[in-house]
Amino acid sequence: MMDIRGQTHPFLHAPDKRMLIGGDWVDALSGRRFETRNPADGSLLARVPEGDQHDVDRAVRAARAAFEGPWRRFRPDERQAVMLKFADLLDAHWDELAWLDTLDMGAPIRHTRGSRRHLVGLMRFFAGQATALYGQTASTSMNGDMFAATLKEPVGVVASIIPWNGPLWAMVFKTAPVLATGCTLVLKPAEDAPLTPLRVAELALEAGVPPGVINVLTGFGRTAGAALAAHPDVDKVSFTGSVATGQDIVRASAGNLKKVSLELGGKSPHILFDDADIGQAAAAAAYGVFANAGQICTAGTRVYVQRAIHDEVVERMADIATSLRVGPGCDPDSDIGPLVSARQMERVLGYVDSALEQGARLTCGGHRYQDPERDKGHFVAPTIFTDVRDDMRIACEEIFGPVASVMPFDTLDEVVGRANDSPFGLGAGVWTRDLGRAHALARRLHAGSVWINCYNQMDPSMPFGGVKLSGYGRESGVQQLDEYLHVKGVWIQHD
């Protein structure tokens, strides 16, 4: 098993990286670069090209040429074969990819290694879908002796803009449906964590993905990302990130009315009833907030606990929070790694200060670590607040850090109203032994996913996405394929 503590990751032997356009590894036309650093200790990992409008233009041209050229002539079974080879390479290089994700964005190596089965499986799942795309025939009533049918065709050039909190996850999620449907891709990683997508793109070429089908353009959101979203020769944008940027992308898409799918923020409610298994429910509530240092869009940061068990749940969650080992992601004993950047750390600590100013009670955490092991990194202690009102900032706004608000409730109708009183609707969790209550909540909660007696479960066969300000469109599942396809009606007059 690969262990690179104290060593240099093989991908970083050459610290000046290039981006992939049209099958070639190139620098930005401007020659500019920016640095990406290890959030655990601030050390320099690599320098990557700072792409801009001119680089976006050539990446989109390369994707268009590939779409109109050899890739369009690949049969479904040929696309499937390439995807299966790609999946095998992901599997074979998984330890290396997991370490690269850990170094660049900070998640504990146990976390990044642990997604292997899901993400390799997702690529194989969509490989199966490549040969299962079909239209339908229709029995027409108004048009005489006609044959009428639908065809499903790839939308064309897809622009994907991904976040820093899970680059490997996002790269696989965005690449698989593109390859399955026969589209082409220009992907822009987040500037805070661009390295893993570049390495995955290398593996895609090795798998036989033709040049120009997958392009990876590094740069900043305000320049490269904005130009990509507005580009007139991009047919679809798939974005994962903040609500504000998602809204900007919708506005930018109006020029050519490109298709858009958005997976945005969340403020997920996690509801614990007094008939639940308290130990399991409290543990799920804790890990639902603290996993990946809270840098998960579905983090269950609003923990609603029925009043009879509220104090016990708070005590159990606090015991878990204070027992978690916060340390560098490359340490296999770490439970929680650093936040991705100093900017994000200051943002999270600002929410802690706001909660205290608004009268919330700090149960544990709430501070940055200042010790020789962690003082150069962006480490924040797992934090729990009680005495939180629903109108406080920590209860309303997405924090993207390890901060939980635990609030009591009395009745089902009350907690449904409070859970739904949010502009977000990405995920929701429920713990109860009452089957009727579970089914009622599955229908009544305004969320794209509802987890009952579990939390944050995902599978390639199940769709994932949100409602309200959490976005629209779906990732994963067969439902995602429709985001990358046009439906064409075909009419044939027999006589």
Residues marked active site are found at 263, 297
Contact 17, 47 (CB under 8 A): yes
Contacts of 291 (CB under 8 A, 6+ apart): 111, 299, 456
158: which strand partners?
Answer: 185, 236
Q: β-strand 137-138 against 44-49: which pairing, if any?
A: unpaired
Q: Which residue has the tokens 């997508």?
A: 197
Measured distance CA(107)–CA(103) in Å, rounded: 8
Contacts of 221 (CB under 8 A, 6+ apart): 161, 188, 190, 191, 245
429: which strand partners?
Answer: 270, 451
Measured distance CA(248)–CA(145) in Å, rounded: 48
User: For the chain, how far is it from start to end, CA to CA, in angstroms?
Assistant: 68
Contacts of 149 (CB under 8 A, 6+ apart): 135, 136, 137, 138, 489, 490
Measured distance CA(261)–CA(474) in Å, rounded: 7
44: which strand partners?
Answer: 37
Contact 201, 20 (CB under 8 A): yes
> Of all helices (H) and strands (E), which one includes residue 262?
strand 259-263
Contacts of 45 (CB under 8 A, 6+ apart): 12, 15, 35, 36, 37, 38, 103, 104, 195
**Tokens standing for residue 173:** 């999620």
> Of all helices (H) and strands (E), which one includes residue 25?
strand 24-26
Cα 8 versus chain centre, distance: 27
H helices of 208-297, in order, are 226-230, 243-252, 278-290
Contact 388, 394 (CB under 8 A): yes
